[in-house]
């Protein structure tokens, strides 16, 4: 499997391997607060390890940038990441692009950075 795949026109498509990749996980809780007497965190965890993935690409052509941007316009974006250590198998995640940035270099190439944020809970969270 490619580094990551996105569902395009109903079928999973291999996406270009990023120049760099970072993944964060965040737990979601309800009505958390700090005790004013002890300072302890009082929390009720709703689910664990929601995925936020950051992709960075260097030296893309205008066509490559436009192809990736067309995928990022979808909401939700169905994604399979082969490098998500939280899951023991490749898991389909429903995500959305929360931030994207494109820069044109003096060479005429482009850089592209974007985040994908998990929208729905999956088994194991």
CATH number at residue 15: 2.40.30
Give the domain extent around 55. 4-118
Is residue 95 domain-resident? yes
The stretch 102-110 carries a mean pLDDT of 96
Specify the pairing of strand 20-34 against strand 11-14. unpaired
Is residue 124 domain-resident? no
Does position 42 have pLDDT exceeding 70, yes or no?
yes
> Measured between alpha carbons, how far is 101 from 60 in angstroms, rounded to an integer?
13
The stretch 59-79 carries a mean pLDDT of 96
3-state DSSP of the chain = CCCEEEEECCEEEECCCCCEEEEEEEEEEEEEEECCCCCCEEEEEEEEEEEEEEEEEEEECHHHHHHHHHHHCCCCEEEEECCCCCCCCCCEEEEEEEEEEEEECCCCCEEEEEEEEECCCCCCC
Tokens at 27, concatenated: 């737990």
Confidence of residue 101 (pLDDT cuts 50, 70, 90): very high
Does position 112 have pLDDT exceeding 60, yes or no?
yes
Return the pLDDT at 125: 63
Return the pLDDT at 45: 81
Of 93, 85, 73, nearest in space to 24 by CA: 85
Is residue 20 domain-resident? yes
Is residue 16 domain-resident? yes
> Measured between alpha carbons, how far is 118 from 78 in angstroms, rounded to an integer?
10
The stretch 80-85 carries a mean pLDDT of 77
Higher pLDDT, 117 or 30: 117
Residue with tokens 């009082």: 42
Is residue 107 domain-resident? yes
Is residue 123 domain-resident? no
Does position 13 have pLDDT exceeding 70, yes or no?
yes
Does position 68 have pLDDT exceeding 80, yes or no?
yes
Confidence of residue 102 (pLDDT cuts 50, 70, 90): very high
Q: What proportion of the chain, given as a percentage, has pLDDT over 70?
A: 92
- How many domains are contained in the chain? 1
């Amino acid at each position: 499997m490619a580094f990551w795949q996105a569902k395009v026109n109903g079928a999973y498509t291999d996406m270009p391997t990023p120049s760099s990749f970072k993944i964060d996980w965040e737990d979601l809780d309800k009505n958390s607060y700090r005790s004013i007497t002890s300072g302890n965190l009082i929390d009720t965890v709703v689910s664990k390890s929601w995925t936020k993935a950051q992709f960075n690409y260097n030296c893309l052509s205008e066509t490559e940038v436009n192809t990736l941007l067309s995928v990022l316009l979808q909401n939700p974006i169905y994604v399979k990441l082969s490098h998500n250590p939280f899951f023991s198998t490749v898991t389909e995640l429903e995500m959305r692009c929360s931030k994207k940035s494109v820069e044109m270099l003096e060479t005429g190439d482009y850089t592209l950075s974007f985040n994908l944020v998990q929208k729905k809970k999956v088994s194991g969270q």
